[in-house]
Structure 1
Amino acid sequence: MVLGPQGYVSIVELIVYIPALVTAIIVTSRHGFHRASGWIYTVILCVVRIAGAICQLLSYTDHSDGLLKATLIIDSIGLSPLLLATLGVLSRFADFVNAKGTQIFGMKQFRLVQLLITLGLILSIAGGSDGSTDSDGNVTISGTSKAAIILLIVGFAGITYFFLLSSGYKTAAPRQERHSLVAVGIAWPLILVRLAYSALAIFVHNHTFSVVGGSVAVHAGMAVVEEFLVVLDYLILGFMLHKLEPEEQGELANRAWKNKKRTGNDRR
């Protein structure tokens, strides 16, 4: 089996994401596996990228449509975990500010952005399943994939609004918690570049940005590197922040709406 450039990128992904997965599990265990904490999404992204690298390597010996679809689906869902992890980090910071009596963004706003990103994830998976290639290897992008990236763009805009709003209340949070804004500030341009790559791959009919058979250098420079740097950024943050005890968690971090639903079910 002779590996192409993308094959070598996949090997590098395995080398970096396998230890990153172990680290992500340690960090997530420390802060809790509930989705509002954000770090669970670093685990998900590591798993997704390991699976994607394996599928890519298998494609050198297996040219089936099923494996191609799996590759398309896995590549398309990398953005959502990055956005949801960022939203989780910002929600933690917002809870500390809200506890001081100033509500910078509330549960309804948080849930709306979370819902948009989750729907984008679902549509990305569905769009990857609907994707196909012609005899020349060109990928046909489905309308579902286009709807998915639009939702993710709107979700990113919402996160940007939360970030800018939170930055104005930096001194209202404990000193240690201010690291969250620094981490998001580092991740924001990286996620923007990753989002731009996905948008170009879907809306611009240019072979350079094609998921299958496109420029490996562009893909690595605008997607692979950015994803890993964001994961690394949030894992470092996870070690810097202390674990929140239940009484320290605000309404966003402890998912109060879920608790209300469970209480209602218990009463019934």
Structure 2
Amino acid sequence: MRKTGKPFSPMIFRLVGLFALVAMILSIVGSTENANFTSGLVNTKTQVGLVLYLVAWIGVCGLFILVASRSQSIEDGEHRLLLAVGISLPLILVRLIYSFIYSFGHKAQFNMLTGNVTIQLVMSVLEEIVIVLVCLGIGLTLQVRPSAEYTHQSSVSSRGQDSVELESATLQGQTPKPRQYQRPKRRGGPISRLVMFAVDEINERRR
């Protein structure tokens, strides 16, 4: 969405991510609290986690539709990300259905530990493998974005002020003092600022 300068609010993505994060925490806690592995690690917390996973999946589908409707605003070369999400969503739904059938339907064939191996392979394992391969494959084909170049451009007002100072100093017979160099403001995280600070120090010493 950088072409239009009107991106979606980051709060939408954070909200969907929050549902997925809470679902993951509940699933892990529920699985570790259940000491009976033969029951398939199913309890109230894991069931609530599955419901939240489904809510997060619906949220991702909504975001996918919104972003796809503005696909012309996506930068060139990044449309393949939509393809990765579009392929992954149906596979994730099949994986969720597999978990829902056993967690809420209590079907022994869908037990991850003692259930039917063929069903687990077709509805769980293969989906996870394909999703990982698709995301990795498309991610590796994306071009690396060039790093931002930091250049200092003097404004028209500063140039005019420099010329006025030079003229006044010449008329008074004084040697004009060089204008003190002001470092441009840097944007970015602490690591990038530290790197640019070191670059500025090296440039000043060369002068």
Match of residue 116 from structure 1: 19
| Superimposed CA distance per residue, residues 96-155 of structure 1 (whole angstroms, 9 cap, x where no aligned partner) | x1551333x311111111111111111111011122438xx4436211101111111111
| Superimposed CA distance per residue, residues 156-189 of structure 1 (whole angstroms, 9 cap, x where no aligned partner) | 1110100011111112112311111111111111
| Aligned positions of 1:92-103 closer than 5 A | 97-103=1-7
Distance 2:148 2:104 in 1: 46
2:26 touches 2:46 (CA, 8 Å); kept in 1?
A: yes
| Aligned positions of 1:166-181 closer than 5 A | 166-181=67-82
List gaps (5 residues or longer) in structure 1.
1-96, 249-258, 260-268
Distance 2:138 2:103 in 1: 32
TM-score normalised by L of structure 1:
0.52
Distance 1:144 1:241 in 2: 38
| Aligned positions of 1:33-182 closer than 5 A | 97-103=1-7, 105-133=8-36, 137-139=38-40, 141-182=42-83
The structure-2 alpha-carbon separation of the partners of 1:139 and 1:243, relative to structure 1 and needing over 3 Å to count, comes to same
| Aligned positions of 1:253-268 closer than 5 A | none
The structure-2 alpha-carbon separation of the partners of 1:245 and 1:148, relative to structure 1 and needing over 3 Å to count, comes to farther
| Superimposed CA distance per residue, residues 47-74 of structure 1 (whole angstroms, 9 cap, x where no aligned partner) | xxxxxxxxxxxxxxxxxxxxxxxxxxxx
The partner residue of 1:236 within 126, 134, 137 is 137
> What is the CA distance between 1:246 and its match in structure 2?
5.5
Considering only aligned residues, what root-mean-square deviation do their CA atoms show, in Å? 2.3
Match of residue 62 from structure 1: none
1:226 maps to amino acid: E
SS in 1 for 2:119: helix
2:3 touches 2:75 (CA, 8 Å); kept in 1?
A: no
1:217 maps to amino acid: T
Distance 1:131 1:221 in 2: 26
List gaps (5 residues or longer) in structure 2.
150-188, 190-207
SS in 1 for 2:143: coil
Distance 2:148 2:55 in 1: 33
> What is the CA distance between 1:201 and its match in structure 2?
2.3
1:100 maps to amino acid: T
Distance 1:156 1:208 in 2: 25
Decide which structure has greater helix share: 1
Distance 2:136 2:114 in 1: 32
Select the structure with the greater relative contact order (CA < 8 A; seq sep ≥ 6).
1
2:16 touches 2:56 (CA, 8 Å); kept in 1?
A: yes
1:227 to 2:128 alignment: yes
Distance 1:146 1:126 in 2: 12
The structure-2 alpha-carbon separation of the partners of 1:146 and 1:173, relative to structure 1 and needing over 3 Å to count, comes to same
1:127 touches 1:145 (CA, 8 Å); kept in 2?
A: yes
* Number of equivalent positions: 152
2:27 maps to amino acid: S
| Structure 1 runs, 4 residues or longer, greater than 3 Å off | 137-140, 244-248
